[in-house]
Chain A
Amino acid sequence: MGQTLAEKILSHKAGRRVEAGELVVVEVDQVMVVDSIAGSFFKRLEYLGATPRYPERISIVIDHVAPAANLEVAKAQKEIREWGHKHGIRVFDVGRGVCHQVLVEEGLARPGWVVVGSDSHSTTYGAVAAFGTGMGATDIALAAASGRTWLRVPESVKVVFRGRLPKGVTAKDAALEMVRLLTAEGATYMAVEIHLLDGAEALTRGERMTLANLTVEAGAKAGLVVPSGEILEMYQVPEWLYPDPDARYQEVVEIDLSSLTPRVSVPFFVDNVHEVAQVKGKRVDQVFIGTCTNGRIEDMRAAAEVLRGRRVAPWVRLLVVPASSQVLEEAARDGTLLTLLEAGATLGTPGCGPCMGRHMGVLAPGEVCVSTSNRNFRGRMGAPDAEIYLASPRVAAASAVAGYLTTPEELEEAHA
């Protein structure tokens, strides 16, 4: 019996052939820590009486509340800087960007690596065929102290994307469709192994990050995209890093990219996915373009394309938060940023921004937000009855202009 991509990677790390269901303790190539667990992380290391085993394999990113929102946060971030300096740990400070984007940009997630992160969307590293998985503060502290972690080798669900995306349809729409089909618990404890075929290989690294990012919303432990396309040009992909043709899967899901239309995830669950057409007309108070799901340069450009020569509706706040300083610089260089600002966008510091309702863009009771992020849970961005609709940057930008949920195509028609 052949092996899945997850089994291949964990076998390689374990130094022996392992199969789904086994418990393994494996070396970790990179441990990613975000500001929001720093306090718990340090407390646990102190309790263990431990120091980092491999300082060069640890990255700390100050992104979840950046810049600091209050005194508590400021103290926690000060501790990060001091601790990082003392132990020779890489610290990506305020403004560098969202952890997942930063790690990929910095080459700290690579094909075949095991990357554990203190953020559930660490599945994003699967875009470059790294086994990325999210964990809590204890696991992360143990990984930093020991250089290892324990994992149950996951079963896998195979998701095959075929064909090419129609004009106006994006990787976000494909990702939302995947979550709808798998459901919020359909891939729990499993790896989602993504195959791109018949033209879908053309999806960029950024688009693959969007797909891998959303796999955790189906409960996945990892979201692994089989290397192809530009990944093969950007990275040295080891020969063994492919699933066997006779690997065993719990389920196989096929998605024809060419048949997709713009999608939106309706509160309060990510898998509550509909065509935009079904909910269009919903009045919008805030639009947020950014996050580890859709804050990349291609997302900024897609939004700018819709916003060029237009203004956001008078009652809408459009918040744009580039996923990293590199994205921001690129957007400044090529004019994308000016287009966004001329349309009425408010710019935030590269980082997670309003995604989890901590310090900017908090929603008042009853407000509605269209967000390019990955979660629309009740109360996530503020008031418990505020509503979050998840969509692509194109749909988000069009909704900002219209003041209600819509697509760029509808916008064209309305103005024709």
Chain B
Amino acid sequence: MPRVFKFGDQVNTDDILPGKYAPFMVGEDRFHLYAFAHLRPGFAQEVRPGDLLVFGRNAGLGSSREYAPEALKRLGIRAIIAKSYARIFFRNLVNLGIVPFESEEVVDALEDGDEVELDLEGGVLVKGERAFRLRPPPPFLLEALKEGSLLDYYKKHGRFPGE
């Protein structure tokens, strides 16, 4: 069952992947092993594909470095729930095909280490007896996510969604 890794408010891109562990510094095949190296050492070894990341407010503030969310994708993260997102991080998630859900209520209801079920397409999260409905991302983004990522969408259609 997917487990919840919960972080606080204002988690920045230096927290998610410190600059010195960028792919061009440590190698394209290794950089994801340094995810949360300062904030939560051992994360990359502990996390399993399908696990759920949960953040508080203004998730992913800071740099435009797409290799921060890309490291999470490499580790098998398919969705994130946050109270709110920083703009560039939100874009990067969509572009990579990680679904960015936004919900104060669900973030507050989840604890680090919880085991949950998440239906990505249906936007339903189940924790024990409780089921939460997650609001889907805006239509433009959903259209891109349907093809996997914005990159995949553009590759297939030769245009941006809605054009």
Contacts and interface: CB of A to CB of B under 8 A. Distances in A.
Contacts of A137: 66-67
A119 to B, nearest CB: 6
Contact of A39 (B10, B23, B65): B23
B87 A138 contact: no
Given A188-B84, A188-B87, A72 B19 contact: no
Contacts of B58: 184-185, 188, 219
B22 A135 contact: no
Contacts of B85: 188
B140 A377 contact: no
Interface in B125-163: 140, 149-151, 154-155, 160-163
B114 interface: no
A185 B24 contact: no
Contacts of B120: none
Interface stretch (B25-33, B46-54, B105-113): B25-33
A358 B95 contact: no
A25 to B, nearest CB: 5
B86 interface: yes
Contact of B64 (A70, A136, A142, A269): A136
Nearest to B9: A185
Nearest to A35: B24
A219 B160 contact: no
Interface in B1-60: 10, 12, 14-15, 18-20, 22-28, 38-39, 57-58
B157 to A, nearest CB: 11
B64 A25 contact: no
B62 A70 contact: no
Interface string A256-267: 000000000000
Contacts of A358: 19-20, 22, 25
B25 A356 contact: no
Contact of B160 (A25, A189, A357): A25
B61 A356 contact: no
Contacts of B155: 47-49
B92 A136 contact: yes
Interface string B69-100: 11000000000000011111001100110000
Interface in A35-57: 35-40, 44, 47-49
A384 B57 CA distance: 22
A219 B87 contact: yes
A100 interface: no
B92 A72 contact: no
Given A47-B151, A184-B61, A358-B22, A134 B66 contact: no
B57 A185 contact: yes
Nearest to B163: A25
Contacts of A382: 20
B160 A148 contact: yes
B64 A138 contact: no
A146 B66 contact: no
A160 B85 CA distance: 26
A73 interface: yes
B88 A142 contact: no
Identify the interface centre among B57, B61, B96: most chain A CB within 10 Å of its CB. B61
Identify the interface centre among A49, A146, A362: most chain B CB within 10 Å of its CB. A146
Contacts of B15: 377-379
Given A65-B25, A357-B19, A377-B12, A139 B95 contact: yes
A72 B25 contact: yes
A120 B154 contact: no
Nearest to B63: A120
B118 to A, nearest CB: 24
B67 A40 contact: yes
A312 to B, nearest CB: 26
Given A25-B163, A118-B64, A219 B91 contact: no
A221 interface: yes
A253 interface: no
A380 interface: yes
Nearest to B90: A189
A25 B86 CA distance: 21
Interface of B: 10, 12, 14-15, 18-20, 22-28, 38-39, 57-58, 61-67, 69-70, 84-88, 91-92, 95-96, 140, 149-151, 154-155, 160-163
27 contacts: A23-B140, A23-B162, A25-B162, A36-B24, A37-B66, A47-B151, A48-B154, A65-B24, A65-B25, A72-B26, A73-B24, A76-B24, A135-B64, A135-B91, A136-B69, A136-B95, A137-B67, A138-B150, A139-B91, A145-B154, A146-B154, A219-B61, A219-B86, A269-B10, A356-B19, A375-B62, A377-B62
